[in-house]
Amino acid sequence: MPYRSIFRPDLLAQRVILVTGAGSGIGRCVAHEAAHLGATVLLVGRKRERLEATASEILADGGAAEVAPCDIRDEAAVTALIADLVARHRVIHGLVNNAGGQFQSPLDALTSNGFETVLRSNLVGGFLMAREVFLRSMREHGGSIVNMAADVARGTPTMGHSGAARAAMIHLTQTAAVEWAPHGVRVNAVAPGFIATQALARYGDAALEAVLAPLVPLGRLGTEAEVSSAICFLLSEGAAYISGATLRIDGALPSSHPLFPPGAHGKSPVYDGFHRSRRPRST
């Protein structure tokens, strides 16, 4: 069974799409959907074996994928990587800045090194990727960049470092959208809420879903495919007049009110077109 995308099969045909953090989770899903829609997908991440596993899946499904290991926090490595990719592919049409990482810690126990490490993963690395892709390809040919943000409407207890990085990414997205618009470059962000990925197990076990779902007005967690479809839309020509936007994918969680607790209801339909999706499991 192939990827069951809501989009026409040739939506991203003849395009080169670079996806960071493509070895797992949402990045892996986006890589699959973009490849299904006709793109040649460049898979970037720190762990070659994970990237190769994703590439093998895409190739087995009839798509085109290329592995490009890189630590996006390393400026010299990013510069060399993008120079090499542009030399071989000439144009990078889309960049999905999905890579990131964090860990739980209250602010009073957070070291400066831990804080800076998360900022480099969730903000600085994305900036470096966007800057180099712009300088070496999109400044001349145009393109679309989609950055990964998060729900930052409120505080993020035990995740202050990640929240700070994601909030800054939203502002960076808005600034880049203005500065790079004259070159035909669109820059947007997506802000997922509670998404059922394997990473969820790092913060507890699969039972965490039962705790989180009642907090969401739609009564459930989102799927990787629901995030991927938003990203693929922003990469497409259908979003040609959308730039500087942050698209929330969160089941209306930030709009909820303590006087009207939503509770679980099971009435929200689920879209999961990813034929190779992996639900959270206990660690």
Q: What is the pLDDT of residues 118-166, one digit of tens each?
A: 999 999 999 999 999 999 999 999 999 999 999 898 899 989 999 999 9
Residue 283 pLDDT class (50, 70, 90 cuts) = very low
Provide the token pair at 50.
Answer: 């994970």
Task: Supply the pTM of this predicted model.
Answer: 0.95
> What mean pLDDT value characterizes the chain?
94
For residue 44, is it within any domain?
yes
Mean pLDDT along residues 201-206:
59
Name the residue among 212, 209, 205 with its Cα closest to residue 282: 205
For residue 283, is it within any domain?
no
Q: Which domain holds residue 73?
A: 16-252
Distance CA 58, CA 78 (A): 24
For residue 258, is it within any domain?
no
For residue 264, is it within any domain?
no
CATH assignment of the domain containing 137? 3.40.50.720
On the question of pLDDT at 180 being above 70, the answer is yes
Mean pLDDT along residues 86-103:
96
Which residues neighbour 2 within 8 Å (Cβ) at sequence distance 6 or greater? 36, 61, 62, 275
For residue 266, is it within any domain?
no
pLDDT score recorded for residue 85: 98
For residue 215, is it within any domain?
yes
pLDDT score recorded for residue 265: 82
Residue 15 pLDDT class (50, 70, 90 cuts) = very high
Distance CA 249, CA 191 (A): 6
Task: Give the E-state strand segments of the chain in sequence order.
Answer: 16-20, 40-45, 64-69, 94-97, 143-148, 185-192, 246-249
Mean pLDDT along residues 97-107:
93
On the question of pLDDT at 282 being above 50, the answer is no
Domain count, the chain: 1
- Condensed to tens digits (0 to 9), the pLDDT of residues 213-271 reads 999 999 999 999 999 999 999 999 999 999 999 999 999 999 998 888 887 788 899 99
For residue 260, is it within any domain?
no
Residue 201 pLDDT class (50, 70, 90 cuts) = low
For residue 63, is it within any domain?
yes
Give alpha helix (H) positions in 9-47.
25-36
